[in-house]
Amino acid sequence: MEKHLADVKLIALDMDGTLLNDHHEVSEENKSAIKEAEAKGATVVLSTGRSLNTCRDYAVSLELSSYLVTVNGSEIWGPSGELVERNQVSTDHMQWMWDLSKEHKTGFWAISTDGTWHDEMPEDFHGKQWLKFGFNIEDDLIREKIMNDLSARQAFEISNSSPVNIEVNAIGINKAKGLRNVCELLGISMDNVMAVGDSLNDMAMIKEAGLGIAMGNAQPAVKEAADWVTGTNNESGVAQAIRKWVL
């Protein structure tokens, strides 16, 4: 395929279900493949739905010295830990989604600039800067109903990080947009990016990257959108992809 002709200069990795196995660990195979890729001159960027607080330790343990795309692109953090960009969800929108989750009795989580809240909100809800709202919904019909309500507002970027959840960011904010900004800062193009992921919040970056890789455990739609399917997150699929396309 034409897409693969560009050099891979940036490797964008989703975390949950991708870089991390089901025990939330980075395998030795993945660690060494990342080290070898960086030694060859590639930049490795974590591109995750997680907040900085819940992904920073992984970046440090992998000795990554590059940008971090967090909360599905709501925030971009620079190599020295500086905030490069922040895209918020308005408190009114957060309130509406919180009410929606109460109405349908769903689980939820919400990420603010200073923490992640599960199934409860802080007392100073209106004083916080919000980045993302997530619904956990086991019931397919309720999930579909909430999806329709969210879509009808035309104010949100809607994705998921597992088949039973819905992730909501500010409209136009996704991992691909975050990576485009990182590419600009590094002076490279999206053609030079290999993006690896497993869920709908990885879809945009997998489609826009020069090389889009779906995990063996990825949702079917993600596999269809990808250029290649690697092993699962429990088989060090990230290392397999790096060895095949970068090393």
CB atoms within 10 A of CB 245: 19
Which of the residues 14, 16, 198, 202 is marked catalytic?
14
- Alpha carbon distance 197, 216 (integer Å): 10
Antiparallel, parallel or unpaired: β 193-197 and 211-214: parallel
Give me the residue label for tokens 């699929």.
237
Residue 14 is among the residues annotated as catalytic for this protein: yes
Distance, CA of 11 to CA of 240 (rounded, Å): 13
Structure tokens at 187: 């002076």
3-state SS, residue 117: strand
List the beta bridge partners of residue 20: 16, 26
The catalytic site residues sit at 14
